Amino acid sequence: MVKRQRSPSDPAPTPMTHELRIEAANKLSLETFQTRFFLSDVTSANKAAERKIKGNGNKHTDHQGNDALTAFTRPSDGARYTISLVDSTSISHADFVACFELIRSTSAAMYKMSDRGWSARRKKAEMADPDMRFLLVRKRDVDREGYPRGDEERETGHEDNGKNVKRQENGHKDNQRKENGHTKERAQTQAGTVEAFLSFMLTYEDDREVVYCYEIHLSSTLRGCGLGRHLMNVLESIGTRVGVEAAMLTCFTKNESGLRFYERLGYVEDEFSPPPRKLRSGKVEKPSYIIMSKPLRREVNGK
| Domains of the chain listed by start with CATH number | 28-141+188-302 (3.40.630.30)
pLDDT tens per residue, range 223-252: 999 999 999 999 999 999 999 999 999 999
pLDDT range class, residue 76, cuts 50, 70, 90: very high
Rounded CA-CA distance 207/10 in Å is 9
Are the C-beta atoms of residues 39 and 51 closer than 8 Å to each other? no
Three-state secondary structure call for residue 283: coil
pLDDT tens per residue, range 106-157: 999 999 999 889 999 999 999 999 999 999 999 987 543 444 454 433 333 3
Share of the chain above pLDDT 70, in %: 66
DSSP string, 18-72: SPPHHHHHHHS-HHHHHHHHTSSPPPGGGHHHHHHHHTTT-----TTS-HHHHEE
- 77, pLDDT greater than 50: yes
What confidence score (pLDDT) does residue 179 get?
44
Are the C-beta atoms of residues 289 and 252 closer than 8 Å to each other? yes
pLDDT tens per residue, range 261-284: 999 999 999 999 998 887 888 787
- 172, pLDDT greater than 60: no
What confidence score (pLDDT) does residue 35 get?
95
